[in-house]
Amino acid sequence: MARVTMWAAVLQLMVMVAWTWSGVEGQGYWEVVVPNAGIASMHSAVTHLGSVVLLDRTNIGDSQLPLPNGVCRDNPADRANTHDCTAHSALYTPGSNAIRPLFVFTDTWCSSGQFDGNGMLVQTGGDADGVTKIRTFTPCGDGNCDWVETATNLQEGRWYASNQILPDGTQIVVGGRGSTTVEYVPANGRGTSYLDLLATTGDAQQDNLYPFVHLLPNNQLFIFANRDSCLFDWQTNTIVGTLPQIPGEPRNYPSAGSSVMLALSAADGFTYAEVLVCGGAQYGAYMSGNTGAPASKTCGRIAPLAAGAGWAMEDMPQARTMGDMVLLPSKQVLIINGAAAGSQGWGGASNAVTAPDLYSPYNAAGTRFQTLTGTNVPRVYHSTANLIQDGSVIVAGSNTHQFYTFTGEFPTELRVERFIPPYMGGGIQVTAGPATLAYGAAFTVTVAANNPTTIELNLIAPPFVTHSYSMGQRLLQLAVSAPAGDGNGGYNVDSTAPPSNVVAPAGYYMMFPVADGAVGYAWWVKIG
């Protein structure tokens, strides 16, 4: 049975004291946790051991993070340095803030990924020698794990594609530059399949890259590209429904809005789904290089399985392109990073948006947004944001140049920051619970909390984050009993695991206790 580490308990106490001392309710705060990670993180993912995989491209020349023990990457296909003794991937450990270099061989530029049911990160595609590659990273506790280039390749080159884990344990890989198809990893006999949505949304600046893909609770996929979306039956490789076009600007790369599926809840049997799409850029800003073109200020929200589904539009407090959207244990959405003008791409944006916005989806329309405390570190093209086990958000990357360039308005950013949302504090944590859960199984956890009235248990699947989209991000609100004191200062909460692999694809989830609105330290649990 897992145990919460001492540093986590101390960290929770520090956060509680910080909020009590500050007297500023609801704004959050920032800290630099790594002054120089050595690489700029274009992609990132949180493993079930709590570490964070940071990943850049390889065709960029030397990083500032040496590979250990004289190891070098000798790759004649590398466009920048065929004998490279520096790392282009790293493992960051929260708490100790240690950085361990990782070895990745082929080019991972603008690639995609997702965790499988056993917590292995499956990473697909890229550019140049990496365009058809499949790589894996299996987290370990002994410091010996590293990237593995598999002997099996993708069936089609994938650059700027999106991945989504499916109920059968495979991943669908959708689109990419020059691609109008989907395929499955591992290959499941269905081969590649033409997706009309990708063909019809391919405008002159290709605003259908990194399509938004969400697994709906009826086992269909919601796939969104440019401004259009469809319902896709992955078992038959057919579009089974189309949805209205979202008003406003293009929303995918290179215009770069972002998207999440809001929390699925046991209260309705996990049957009701809503998708949120926010931000974007003016059409043509990317092609023309108009860095001053105002970005989108709108969000659209749709229930894709509802009869007569349509978009409900609302305005964000700030215009934003390249914003990352992070599902929080409070069932809110953090919109962070990006710029107020221009588009994605090298030197494509201006006016960095350094203050995150918090979206509360269950508030009344017009009262859902709150602007939080900003950072002094611009995070624009090639930046990431990931929720970690203590409920805070790790923010890394930003490189709006072809190579590492440390001058200009937006220099290559090697610092790693942590944003602490306003909901943290109180030393709340799961102190006992199951390591694994079967679908539909009843279970009990013990939560340390200060005389709570209510305790929620909310599951979050860790995504693969790149280019303003978090692949596989998922939030489930479980049914719970009223907390019952255990006589030892803890509170027992009874609950039931999600009912199926459609609602919760097999894999590792962070189970967050939320006591009277305050978010505690998560417990990792393997489902399925």
Res. 161: pLDDT tops 70: yes
pLDDT value of position 53: 98
Q: Listing from the earlier edge strand, what are the strands of the sheet with 193-194?
A: 162-165, 171-174, 181-185, 193-194
Q: What is the pLDDT of residues 116-154, one digit of tens each?
A: 999 999 999 999 999 999 999 999 999 999 999 999 999
Residue 315: phi and psi, rounded to 5, are: -100, 140
Q: Which residue in the block uniquely carries the two structure tokens 């605003």?
A: 207
pTM check: above 0.85: yes
Instruction: Give the pLDDT score at 518.
Output: 95
Average pLDDT over residues 429-450: 97
> Which pLDDT score is estimated for 425?
76
Q: Closest Cα to residue 1, out of 464, 434, 470? A: 434
* pLDDT at residue 19 is higher than 80: no
pLDDT at 424: 87
Please say if the pLDDT value at position 11 is more than 80: no
Distance linking the first and last C-alpha atoms of the chain: 17
State phi, psi for 475 to the nearest 5 degrees. Answer: -130, 125
Is the pLDDT assigned to residue 316 strictly greater than 50? Answer: yes
- Where residue 366 falls (left for φ over 0; alpha for ψ -120 to 50; beta otherwise) is left
Please tell me the distance from the alpha carbon of residue 279 to that of residue 295, in angstroms, as a whole number. 7
Exposed/middle/buried for residue 293 (C-beta within 10 Å: 0-12, 13-18, 19+): buried
Tokens of 382: 């090639």
Q: Which residue has the higher pLDDT, 127 or 9?
A: 127
Q: What are phi and psi of 79, to 5 degrees?
A: -80, -20
Specify the pLDDT at position 119.
98
pLDDT bin (cut points 50, 70, 90) of residue 9 is very low
518-521 and 424-432: which strand pairing?
Answer: parallel
pLDDT value, residue 206:
96
Report CA 231 to chain centroid distance, whole Å: 22
Minimal CA–CA distance to 423: which of 391, 389, 383? Answer: 391
Cβ atoms 37, 415 nearer than 8 A = yes
Cα(58)–Cα(86) distance, rounded to whole angstroms?
10
pLDDT in tens, 345-393: 999 999 999 999 999 999 999 999 999 999 999 999 999 999 999 999 9
Where residue 426 falls (left for φ over 0; alpha for ψ -120 to 50; beta otherwise) is left
Which domains are delineated in the chain? 425-527 (2.60.40.10)
Tell me, what's the pLDDT at 10?
A: 35
CB 222 within 8 A of CB 213: yes
Q: What is the residue type of 73? A: R
Three-state secondary structure along 78-119? CCCCCEECECCEEEEECCCCEEEEECCCCCCCCCEEEECCCC
**11 SS3 class:** helix
Instruction: Report pLDDT for 12.
Output: 40
45 strand-pairing partners: 53, 464
pLDDT at 147: 98
Higher pLDDT, 459 or 22: 459
Question: Measured in whole angstroms, how far is the alpha carbon of residue 511 from the centre of its chain?
Answer: 16
How high is the pLDDT of residue 513?
A: 98
Cβ-defined contacts of 402-406 (< 8 Å, 24+): 402/60, 402/346, 403/60, 403/61, 403/80, 404/40, 404/60, 404/61, 404/62, 404/63, 404/64
Distance CA 221, CA 172 (A): 10
Angle 515-519-523 from CA coordinates, rounded to 5°: 95
452/432 Cα distance (integer angstroms): 17
Q: What is the pLDDT of residue 41?
A: 97
**Residue at 106: amino acid letter:** T
- The first and second tokens of residue 405, run together, are 């360039």
Using 50, 70 and 90 to split pLDDT, how confident is the model at 340? very high
How would residue 523 be classed by pLDDT, with cut points 50, 70 and 90?
very high
What is the per-residue pLDDT for 242? 98
pLDDT above 50 for 395: yes
Give the whole-number percent of the chain exceeding pLDDT 90.
Answer: 93
Tokens of 523: 């417990």
Say whether pLDDT at 190 is over 90.
Answer: no
Q: What average pLDDT is seen over the chain?
A: 94
- In angstroms, the CA 126 to CA 60 distance is 13
pLDDT digits (tens, 9 = 90+) for 197-239: 999 999 999 999 999 999 999 999 999 999 999 999 999 999 9
Alpha-carbon distances of 467 from 302, 320, 411, 461, 506, rounded to whole Å: 22, 14, 18, 19, 25
- Categorise residue 28: left if φ over 0, alpha if ψ from -120 to 50, beta otherwise: left
pLDDT at 14: 37
Tell me the C-alpha distance between 91 and 416, whole Å.
12
Nearest to 258 by CA among 357, 131, 388: 357
Q: What is the reported pLDDT for 320? A: 98
Percent of the chain with pLDDT over 70: 95
- Cα(122)–Cα(115) distance, integer angstroms: 6
pLDDT at 13 over 50: no
Question: What is the Cα–Cα distance from 470 to 326, expressed in whole angstroms?
Answer: 8
DSSP, res 288:
H
Identify the H or E element spanning 17.
helix 6-22
Question: If pLDDT is split at 50, 70 and 90, which confidence band does 426 have?
Answer: confident
346-370 b/e (C-beta count within 10 Å ≥ 16 → b): ebbbbbbbbebbbbeeeeeeeebbb
Distance between CA atoms of residues 291 and 286, nearest Å: 8
Question: Is the confidence at residue 18, as pLDDT, over 70?
Answer: no
